[in-house]
Amino acid sequence: MIGRVTIFPSGKMISVGSKSIEDARNQFNHALDALVENNLAKPTPIENIRIENIVATVDLEKTVDLEEISARLRAIYEPEQFPGATLHLEEPKATILIFSSGKCVITGTKSETSLKQAVKKLSQILSAPEK
C-alpha cells in the first residue's frame, strides 16, 4: 500500500499518495482499523470520499526552452527563484510545472478526465507553431 493518511481531531482523514480512489479507500479503512484496534475510534463505514487534487507527472521526452515558453504562453518563469516554468490553465483548471528536461508536474485537477484534458492541452500548446 502506497501513500499516507493524515487523521484530524475532527475525524476527517486525508489520503496523500494514493494511486486510485480504491487505494485511498483501502488506506482509510486500514487507518480506521488501527484506530479501532487501539480504542481510539468506533467502527464506522468510510463514506463521502471526495477527490480534491490529483497530481501527475509527464515526460515530454524532449528538452524544452523555458524562456520561449514563458514568452509565448505567458507562463511564469523566474529561474533565480525556481527552475521551472509555471503554466496556469483555465480549462481544465490545472497548474503545470514545466522543466527544461521536458518533465512536467500537473496539479489541481479533480478527475482523471480533467487530468487527461490537461495533458492533451499541454501537448497541443507545446506543439503549436511559434507566432
Non-local CB neighbours of 8 within 8 Å, separated by 6+ positions: 14
Q: Are residues 89 and 120 in the same domain?
A: yes
Residues 80-88: contacts with CB under 8 Å, at least 24 apart: 87/122, 87/125
Question: Total structural domains in the chain?
Answer: 2
For residue 59, give its domain range.
54-127
* pTM for this model (two decimals): 0.79
What's the Cα-to-Cα distance from 91 to each of 106, 113, 125, rounded to whole Å? 13, 12, 13
Last-in-domain residue among 9, 25, 50: 50
- What's the pLDDT tens digit per position in 56-110? 999 999 999 999 989 888 899 999 999 999 999 999 999 999 999 999 999 999 9
Q: How far apart are the first and last CA of the chain?
A: 48
Q: Are residues 99 and 84 in the same domain?
A: yes
